[in-house]
Amino acid sequence: MSPISETVLTFDGPTPRVVADLRSVSFGVEHVREGLKDIYSDRDLDEAYQLVMSNQITGSDFRELIGESRYDAQTLFFDDVLVFLFLSDRYDAVFASFDYDGAFPVNELIDAVVGAQAAE
């Protein structure tokens, strides 16, 4: 398990729905919250991995285009779900999803992950 995944799983806040380490050619699901395990098939997870990784590659190019070198997290807000993509290397990342409401401590989670990365 990556240090970022460990930080997400030990964060003093809401329990994640799913946490996965995404690597250049594979992924490892580190956590699926109880009650959600039967919702996602292996095919669903593989398709999600392919989509997220293609986005990561183009996202890196986009950051270079706009002159931004620092990348703490990409966040995707849906009606009831919040997704974080934490880049750990050009082709490695951590996917973490949570139930979402307006009180979610977005900045605190990002700060915890950035702090953990700095400590490495």
Tens of pLDDT, residue by residue over 68-120, are 666 678 889 999 999 999 987 767 889 999 999 889 999 999 999 998 888 77
Domains defined along the chain, listed by start: 3-119 (3.30.450.30)
Is pLDDT larger for residue 60 or for residue 41?
A: 41
All residues at 6 or more sequence positions from 32 whose CB lies less than 8 Å from its CB, including other chains: 17, 18, 40
User: What is the separation of C-alpha 83 from the centre of its chain, rounded to a whole number of angstroms?
Assistant: 6
pTM: 0.85
Rounded mean pLDDT of 32-56? 85
Element (H, E) at 64: helix 42-66
